[in-house]
C-alpha cells in the first residue's frame, strides 16, 4: 500500500528478518547464561546492559475498523501525523518503527520480528471496517496475546482501548480488554483537565511534573479496568465537565504485567498538538523503553489505593 513502510516488495526481507529475530530471541537467555560462566558476574552485567540497549523493532499498528482518528489518517499516500512523529523520535532513540494498518502483520511468519507493538486503533480489528485495510485473522489475534504473554511489549495510545470489547459484544471477558487493562466508555468535549501524578518515579513520568498538570485533549471515560493496574497518572474529575466525568478519580496512564509482557497505556493522543508536544513524546519513548525492557520500574498494583472508587460510573451512587 502506498505510504506504508511495509509492502509486498519487502515482504520476503521482513519474513527473513522475523525468522532471525525469533531465533535470536529464543537463544538470548542461553547465551547470557553462558556468558555468566565465561565472563563472571561483571561481564554478565555488561552483556545484559548491551542487550537492553540493542536496537528494537516496533510495529505501530493504526488500523481503524471503527472511527478513524485524524492523527492516524493518511493523506496522499503519506504516513499519518502520529506515524511520522513516532517514526522520527523512535529513530533517535534506537527504535525501528514499522507503521502498518495491515492485520496480516500478526501472522506467524511476520509477528516474530517485533520487540513490541504500539496500538492506536478502533473497532473489531478482525473485520475490514472503516479504513478497508486487511483485517487481523483469528490466529493473528491469538498470536498477539501469545507474543505479549511470552515477553513482547505492548503500548496503547488513546483509542487503543476503543478496540475489540463492546465492538464484538464483549467487555471484561474480552482477552484484548484484559491485556490492555480497561475499555472505552465514552467521552465528553475536549477540555483542559487536571491530571494527578501518582508515580513520578515511573520512567518519563516527571516530564509533566511531580504533583499535577493540565492538558487539553479528548479524554476517555474507562470501564472494565483490572484491579492489577499500576496507576501512573489519574484524572482529577472534579476539574472536568460533562456527564462522562461525573465520577470519582480514575486512571489516565497506567502499566501492568501480562504474563512476562509489559503493557503501558496512555489515554492521551487524540489531538495533533498533543502528538507534537515534546513532553508527550518523551513519555511515549519512556513507555516504550519500559515495555521493551530497556528500563525497569516497580509496577505493583496500586489502583485501589490511588483511585479507590475507579469502578463507579456516572449516574451510579458512590459507595458509603
Determine contact, residues 159/184, Cβ cutoff 8 Å: yes
Q: Which of 153, 144, 145, 48 is nearest to 105 (CA)?
A: 144
Q: For residue 132, what is its C-alpha cell?
A: 478497508
Q: For residue 101, what is its C-alpha cell?
A: 494498518
Predicted confidence (pLDDT) per residue in 158-185, tens digit: 999 999 999 999 999 999 999 999 999 9
Predicted confidence (pLDDT) per residue in 25-55, tens digit: 434 444 444 544 454 545 545 544 556 778 9
Q: Which of 154, 198, 203, 152 is nearest to 178 (CA)?
A: 154
Determine contact, residues 136/125, Cβ cutoff 8 Å: yes
Kindly tell me if the per-residue pLDDT of 113 is higher than 50: yes
What average pLDDT does this structure show over 65-76? Answer: 97
Average pLDDT for the chain: 88
pLDDT at 150: 98
Q: Give 6-69 as a DSSP string.
A: --GGGHHHHHHHHHHHHHHHHHHHHHHHHHHHHHHHHHHHHHHHHHHHS-EEEEEE--BSSPPP
Kindly tell me if the per-residue pLDDT of 24 is higher than 60: no
Kindly tell me if the per-residue pLDDT of 134 is higher than 80: yes
pLDDT at 5: 41
More confident residue, 239 or 15: 239
**Which residues lie below 8 Å from residue 84, measured CB to CB, with a gap of 6+?**
78
Amino acid at each position: 500500500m502506498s505510504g506504508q513502510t511495509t509492502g509486498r516488495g519487502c515482504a520476503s526481507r521482513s519474513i527473513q528478518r522475523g525468522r532471525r529475530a525469533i531465533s535470536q530471541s529464543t537463544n538470548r537467555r542461553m547465551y547470557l547464561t553462558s556468558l555468566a560462566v565465561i565472563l563472571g558476574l561483571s561481564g554478565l552485567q555488561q552483556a545484559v546492559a548491551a542487550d537492553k540497549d540493542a536496537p528494537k523493532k516496533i510495529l505501530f499498528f493504526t488500523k481503524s475498523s471503527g472511527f478513524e482518528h485524524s492523527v492516524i489518517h493518511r493523506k496522499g499516500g503519506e504516513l499519518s501525523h502520529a506515524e511520522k512523529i513516532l517514526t522520527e523520535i523512535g529513530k533517535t532513540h534506537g527504535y525501528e518503527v514499522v507503521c502498518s494498518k495491515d492485520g496480516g502483520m500478526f501472522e506467524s511468519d511476520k509477528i516474530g520480528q517485533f520487540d513490541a507493538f504500539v496500538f492506536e486503533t478502533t473497532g473489531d480489528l478482525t473485520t475490514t471496517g472503516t479504513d478497508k485495510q486487511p483485517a487481523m485473522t483469528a490466529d493473528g489475534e491469538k498470536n498477539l496475546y501469545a507474543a505479549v504473554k511470552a515477553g513482547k511489549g505492548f503500548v496503547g495510545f488513546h483509542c487503543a482501548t476503543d478496540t475489540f470489547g463492546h465492538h464484538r459484544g464483549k467487555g471484561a471477558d474480552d482477552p484484548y480488554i484484559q491485556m490492555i487493562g480497561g475499555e472505552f466508555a465514552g467521552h465528553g468535549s475536549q477540555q483542559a483537565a487536571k491530571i494527578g501524578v501518582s508515580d513520578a518515579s515511573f520512567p518519563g513520568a516527571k516530564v509533566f511534573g511531580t504533583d499535577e498538570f493540565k492538558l487539553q485533549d479528548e479524554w476517555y471515560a474507562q470501564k472494565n479496568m483490572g484491579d492489577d493496574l499500576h496507576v501512573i497518572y489519574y484524572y482529577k474529575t472534579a476539574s472536568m465537565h460533562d456527564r462522562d466525568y461525573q465520577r470519582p478519580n480514575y486512571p489516565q496512564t497506567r502499566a501492568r504485567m501480562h504474563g512476562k509482557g509489559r503493557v503501558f497505556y496512555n489515554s492521551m493522543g487524540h489531538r495533533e498538538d498533543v502528538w507534537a508536544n515534546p513532553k508527550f513524546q518523551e513519555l511515549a519513548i519512556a513507555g516504550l523503553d519500559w515495555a521493551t525492557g530497556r528500563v525497569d520500574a516497580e509496577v505493583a498494583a496500586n489502583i485501589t489505593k490511588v483511585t479507590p472508587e475507579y469502578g463507579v460510573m456516572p449516574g451510579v451512587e458512590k459507595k458509603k
